Amino acid sequence: MKLIFMGTPDFTVPILDALYGAGHEIVLVVTQPDKPKGRKAILTAPPAKEWALKNDIPVFQPVRIRDDGAYEELKKYEADAAVVAAFGQILPKRVLDLPAHGCINVHASLLPKYRGAAPIQWSILNGDVITGVTTMQMGEGLDDGDILLQKECVITPEDTGGSLFDKLALLGGEAIVETRFLLEAGKLIRHPQNEALATSVGKIDKSLGHLDFTKSALELERYIRGLAPWPAAYVTFRGKSLKLWAADVITEEEVAEGGLMDFKALSVAPGTTAYVSKSAWIVRAGEGLLALHAVQPEGKKRMSAEEFLRGYKVKVGEAFF
């Protein structure tokens, strides 16, 4: 069975590896155009293209997949099916209908939950304990096609957006290989999504990383994990950006039992340093307290809170903005 693969970021590489390793014939990789990257704006190929070139597979990078020229190019390959994963463009109906078996999408959530662009990060931000991947038969709507196969994944208290991204990419590879096997064996069963349970999530942008310390410590800790490594959670401290990479939630009861602070320190405003020592930095949240473990000052490398405190001499009462 000849496959066209359509995808762009790092998430696609384990899926391509799984398909290729299972012996599927990938006749074309379709991905987004190269884009400038970094401070020097060096034109950089997307990960899916790099994978294709390494494996001597043709690459097609249409600016607009809806254009007539793009459709005619895809038509040349006479693919039996297309596999799509984080491609980055909406496919028109004529492209969806072009392969004999249509287009199968690998989506990083348990649909119909979290349709949209950033399901991995939002699953952590919202405090979910279970997520997964879905393979679905693509339709014209946004992630609303029939479900073919689902695989679950536990979100651990240590998971970041980056670590969960890696786990779901590998799971997506397993899911698409199993889906392809069932399709070829004629055993694939389609299940319509329950529209009553559908939820949608938007893109993640940098502004989401600016933490609001009137939120609970539990919410803030999830944002710190969910937005790592990009765009990263941050605050303004002493007039400069300070990224927060790791933290733990501490309750007032735990603080009182440990004898770390008195009532006056606990009553400071949200976003204010309530306790500081050579190795500990505890900040008041809207509800609860947040112990910071890893931070990154503007223009410097990531460091432990202990390293930061040695150089910056933080005092009780100093606040984030």
Q: 120-168 pLDDT, tens per residue?
A: 999 999 999 999 999 999 998 899 999 999 999 999 999 999 999 999 9
Residue 321 lies inside a defined structural domain of this protein:
no
Q: Domain ends where: 153, 186, 201? A: 201
Q: Are residues 102 and 231 in the same domain?
A: no
What does the pLDDT average to over 205-218?
A: 96
Sign of CA dihedral 46, 51, 56, 60: negative
Q: Are residues 49 and 164 in the same domain?
A: yes
CATH at residue 20? 3.40.50.170
Residue 140 lies inside a defined structural domain of this protein:
yes
User: Which residue range forms the structural domain that includes residue 146?
Assistant: 2-201
The residue among 102, 81, 104 whose CA lies nearest residue 28 is 81
Determine the pLDDT at residue 1.
83
CATH at residue 226? 3.10.25.10
Q: Are residues 270 and 178 in the same domain?
A: no
Residue 155 lies inside a defined structural domain of this protein:
yes
The residue among 198, 197, 126, 115 whose CA lies nearest residue 155 is 126
Q: How far apart are the first and last CA of the chain?
A: 56
What's the whole-model pTM score? 0.92
**Separation CA 192–CA 206 (nearest Å):** 35
Q: What is the pLDDT of residues 21-76, one digit of tens each?
A: 999 999 999 999 999 988 888 999 999 999 999 999 999 999 999 999 999 999 99
